[in-house]
Amino acid sequence: MALKATICKAEIHVADMDRNYYQDHTLTLARHPSETEERMMVRLLAFALNADEAMVFGAGLSTDDEPDLWRKDLTGNILSWIDVGLPDEKRIRKACGRADKVIVYSYGGRAAQLWWQQNEDALKRLNKLTVVDLPQRDTHALAGIAGRNMDLQITVQDGHAWVSNNSDAVQIEQDIKLATAA
């Protein structure tokens, strides 16, 4: 018997002073059985950092031809392609050919460092790409506030994000490894 996705609901209140974006979003996240709470929360954070009325979650881990998040225009052109984790360089290259802007949010501590070392030269040749590494201590703390029903305040200023609920707050540092995107 196949396991089903866990459905999580999130009400997020985004105050992004870097982009002058202030909006509330009601989101439904399907957490694949193989997805950790940490990865789900990084997807949620990636949404907040790039929040837009047209931003939507992709089909999920089982779909290779869709990102974790994307934003399309009314004609179907992909404006933003956002992946979370440590995607294959070939996948990123393909995304750069399909989208106006590609962002990868890497996390995982030592594994993310090794991924960057192995892919840095190839990724630097791609245009339209931004790679942001999230420290493991921050993403672990973020996973600690995950729940089936979340009400989160997310504040972004000077490249830092603060995620809080009624009882906890987590500060997320963003280490921009590469920024070739316009």
Q: What length is written for the chain? A: 182
- The CATH number of whichever domain residue 92 belongs to comes to 3.10.640.10
pLDDT band at 3 (very low <50, low <70, confident <90, very high): confident
Residue with tokens 């089936």: 148
The pLDDT > 70 percentage for the chain reads 95
Query: What's the confidence (pLDDT) of residue 27?
Result: 97
Query: Domain total for the chain?
Result: 1
Mean pLDDT of the chain: 93
**Domain membership flag for residue 2:** no
CA separation for the pair 51, 179 (Å, rounded):
19
Specify the DSSP class assigned to residue 2.
Answer: P
**Domain membership flag for residue 131:** yes
pLDDT at 1 over 60: no
CA separation for the pair 11, 153 (Å, rounded):
9
Helix (H, G, I), strand (E, B) or coil at 165: coil
Query: What's the confidence (pLDDT) of residue 178?
Result: 86
Backbone φ/ψ region at 108: left (φ over 0), alpha (ψ -120 to 50), beta: left
Q: For residue 104, what is the enclosing H or E element?
A: strand 99-107
pLDDT at 43 over 90: yes
**Domain membership flag for residue 39:** yes
Cα R_g (the chain), whole angstroms: 16
**Domain membership flag for residue 5:** no
Encode pLDDT of 73-120 as tens digits.
999 999 999 999 999 999 999 999 999 999 999 999 999 999 999 999
Query: What's the confidence (pLDDT) of residue 19?
Result: 96
Domain of residue 140: give its range. 10-179
Terminal-to-terminal C-alpha distance of the chain? 46
**Domain membership flag for residue 133:** yes
Query: What's the confidence (pLDDT) of residue 179?
Result: 85
* 3-class SS letters over 72-96: ECCCCCEEEEEEECCCCHHHHHHHH
Encode pLDDT of 54-65 as tens digits.
999 988 665 677
**Domain membership flag for residue 82:** yes
How many C-beta neighbours within 10 Å does residue 125 have? 10
**Domain membership flag for residue 1:** no
**Domain membership flag for residue 98:** yes
